[in-house]
Structure formats: structure tokens, C-alpha cells
Amino acid sequence: MNETIKNILERRSIRSYKTAQVKDEDLELIVRCGLYAATAIGKQPWHFTVLQNRELMDKITAVNHKLMLNSSIEYLKAMASQPDFDSWRGAPTAIIVSGDGSKFATADCANATQNMAVAAKSLGLGSCYMGAFSPALLHPEHKDFVEALGIPMGYTPIFALAVGYSAETLMSRAPRKENSVNYVR
């Protein structure tokens, strides 16, 4: 099995991290892999924010905690009810991928996030793809967060990737769903 296939197959979502920070050269490579994801009509409708400011990360977590506990969406409530709730899963770095609202921006940002997750794996780093980090950033009363993150006007945070050195003991993986592939030859 080649290394690319191995990294795709062995990537897992990591939700517990060591405190050691990701090396800048690794981070640059990871972001570069995001920037080289496929995009519809080559639009690159995104902005990447590399977040390593723990104080700001904690402030966002605190607002998310409040908003998610009051949410009518059950899985958000359940996430915020966890005793060690942290929007960044305790990772020292998060890369926020924001989209420009164009038709395929969400798909393109997803491609970038997955590329970065596989790149992180190939560099010996853990990562966690995240969608539930953004209630605070989307809330009209918390525009200051978007400003502090330097997300350009017209862009909306869609996904984030937590990145760091894994401190997790992984459980066995969910089996793949049956009958989800057919071949027509």
C-alpha cells in the first residue's frame, strides 16, 4: 500500500492533544495542501485562518458553550454538556476555513479541510474536522470574534480543522456501511 492510501485510510478524528505546538513548517505544508484542493471552476472561494491564540480560542469556547446549551439542536446541546467542552478539542492549533457564499463554496471548503486532515496525518499529526465551532462566530452580537480572527468581509466560517500531536487512545473504527457502492460495467 502506498503512503497516500495509507494516510487516507488511517486518518482518524483526534479529540485529545498534547500541549506541544505544531511546527511552523508543518503548518505551512498543511495549509498549502488545503489551498491545492479541487474547487468548482477553479474559484478558490475561501479564506484560511490559522488560529493559535489560546486566549481567543477560550473566549470563543465560552460563548459557544452558552449558545450551544441553549440551542434547540440536540447534538449541539449534548456536545456543550460534556464536562471538558472545548470548541477546539484541546488542540493547540485550529485552521478555520471560511467560504465566500458562492454556489460551491461549502463543497470546496470541505475539500480543503479533508486535504489538510490527510496532510496532517502524513506529518505525524492528529486532527479533527469540525463543524460545531462556529455558533459564536455567526452570532450577530459577536462580530468582534470575526474581526479578531481577520476573516475578510463577505466570508463565513464553515469548517475548522483542529491540529496537534495526538494524546488520544483510539477505539476501534465504525465499520463502513454496507451496500454503499455499486459498479456499472
Contacts (CB under 6 A) with ligand FMN, residues 132-151:
132
Binding residues for ligand FMN, rule CB under 6 A, total: 9
* C-alpha cell belonging to residue 100: 465566500
129 contacts ligand FMN (rule: CB under 6 A) = yes
The strand pair at 126-130 and 93-99 is best described as: unpaired
Q: What is the dihedral of CA 4, 8, 9, 15, to 10 degrees?
A: 140
Name which position in 131, 150, 152, 154 contacts ligand FMN (CB under 6 A): 131
Question: Which of helix, strand or coil describes residue 5?
Answer: helix
Does residue 78 bind ligand FMN (CB under 6 A)? no
66 binds ligand FMN (CB under 6 A): no
Q: What is the spatial distance between Cα 60 and Cα 95, in angstroms, rounded to a whole number?
A: 14
Among 30-38, 42-50, 128-136, 140-148, the segment contacting ligand FMN (CB under 6 A): 128-136
Mark residues 85-104: x for contact with ligand FMN by CB under 6 A, - for none. Answer: ----x---------------
Is 65 a binder of ligand FMN (CB under 6 A)? Answer: no
For residue 158, CA distances in Å to 6, 25, 105, 122 come to 27, 25, 9, 24
Residue 131 DSSP code: S
Q: Least separation, in Å, of the C-beta of 178 and ligand FMN? A: 17
CB atoms within 10 A of CB 79: 17
| Residue linked to cell 449558545 | 67
Residue 128 binds to ligand FMN (criterion: CB under 6 A): yes
User: Minimum distance from CB of 25 to ligand FMN (Å)?
Assistant: 25
Q: How many whole angstroms separate alpha carbon 124 and alpha carbon 26?
A: 10
Q: Which of residues 1-30 bind ligand FMN (CB under 6 A)?
A: 12-13, 15
Q: Which residues bind ligand FMN (CB under 6 A)?
A: 12-13, 15, 89, 128-132
